[in-house]
Chains A and B, each alone.
Chain A
Amino acid sequence: MNPLWALFQVLVFPGFGFTFAFAMVFAWIDRKVTARVQWRVGPPFLQPLYDFIKLLGKEVIVPAGGARFLFLLAPLFGLAAVTLASALVWQANIWPTSGFVGDLIVVIYLLTIPSLSVILGGFASNNRVASLGASREMKMILSYELPLILALIVPIINAGGSIRLGEMLQGQSAVSHVSGILAFIVAIICMQAKLGLVPFDAAEAETEVMSGPFVEYSGAPLAVLKLMRSMMLFVMPVFLVTVFWGGITAGEGILGVILGCLKIVLLLVIVIVMRNTNPRVRIDQAVGFFWGPWVTGVAALAVALALLRNVIWV
């Protein structure tokens, strides 16, 4: 591949520029729908952009005794990872024959890095509340990664053992089978936890630990962290649609694209409705929920069903 073309893909389309624009739109949809649920008008369309520019212009304070280098670098790690994940997922959707064997696994790893960067930043800020939030975030990762990986195994089995996103898109029928549907539901619940939204936002609970790992962040690093979170809100639904639901361009021509966009918006609305209709669970309740029969159990059942269908019957 031409290196300039690869650079363009990472920086402009479908990488940083594209993801940035849609992250702002998705953050606005999130706030606007939340406002409508609470029976109010809500912020203007450009509000997330105003917040971002304002935070870029604010003073950056590094807390005394904090690990300065790590504190400032952690948000950038997360942002780079989520940008790259977005580029890979969209590349698989637009040019299904490009990509490499195992890019699904790379994307899974890349989507874990934002949470890790939040943990690193929290611990680097030398603040008790931030450390508490970071340790909660760590427990959150331990709890949701197991069912998420189990759920992601199901479409791999249904696609005939392929771990290339492009091949999974072409040869899969994940939600056409009961195992795929079960795995998809589990993955949606895990997505909620991965995005750090209510009911699984114990790590940054505003009323308990004052935004947790973000408590010492100000100015540009905070802007990057907020942008990273908004980008995750955009990338996670796209990733799930790609893996479980036939991707963006599954249909033919323009109709397929519209259908794909509707799928993503549907997932976003599910996330927002879940966030607005649930109370926050404690961290021990969250771990118990994810490791219990209703999430990990269902995911294991989905894996068993997929194996039955694809390996034993054939």
Chain B
Amino acid sequence: MGLKLKALCKSPWLFHINTGACNNCDIELVDALTPRFDVERLGVLLVGTIRHADALVVTGGVTQQAAPRLRRLYEQTPKPRLVIACGSCACTKGIFHDGYHMVGPVDEIVPVDIYIPGCPPKPEAIIDALAKLLKKVAKIHHEG
């Protein structure tokens, strides 16, 4: 188990899910993956299919359309898996708080491991959150 988690911390592959974001967080997330920031130094890759993913990056407060799909995507991810709520909407529903079509923030649908506030969060904030998340997982591994 220890080696497994250690290797997971060294190569988290991201899968990006938009559950009704205004596209701003998505642009910042893609920005964080550009050569300027070079997250491959941390072993981070963006993968195209949920089966290869280790961490789901969810942007946007969850709409009625997106909620069952987010749930299914979460269940399709092979364990061990992490969920990152990226942006104010994903954390708290943000400016769509009273929208008639909003089911709730991401943590009402699937368990969330780390929250990144901001509208939108900067790429630096996303990378910082990722580093903190990996540190947290490594700490769990140390405590057994």
A interface vs B, CB < 8 Å?
31, 35, 38-44, 46-47, 50-51, 53-54, 56-61, 206-207, 210-211, 214-219, 222
Contact = CB atoms under 8 A, between A and B. Distances in A.
Interface of B: 3-4, 7-8, 10-11, 35-36, 38, 40-41, 43, 47-49, 51-52, 54, 76, 78-80
A18 B3 CA distance: 23
A222 B11 CA distance: 14
24 contacts: A31-B40, A38-B35, A40-B35, A42-B38, A43-B41, A50-B10, A50-B43, A51-B7, A53-B7, A54-B54, A56-B4, A58-B79, A58-B80, A59-B80, A60-B78, A207-B48, A211-B52, A214-B49, A214-B52, A215-B49, A215-B51, A217-B51, A217-B52, A219-B78
Given A35-B38, A35-B40, A58-B79, A50 B7 contact: yes
B48 A206 contact: yes
Nearest to A219: B78
A216 B76 CA distance: 10
| Chain A residues touching B, majority SS | loop
B40 to A, nearest CB: 5
Given A54-B10, A54-B11, A54-B54, A211 B49 contact: yes
B80 A41 contact: no
A206 B79 CA distance: 23
A6 to B, nearest CB: 32
Contacts of B4: 53-54, 56-57
Contacts of A43: 40-41, 43
B48 A59 contact: no
A210 B15 CA distance: 12
Contacts of A219: 78
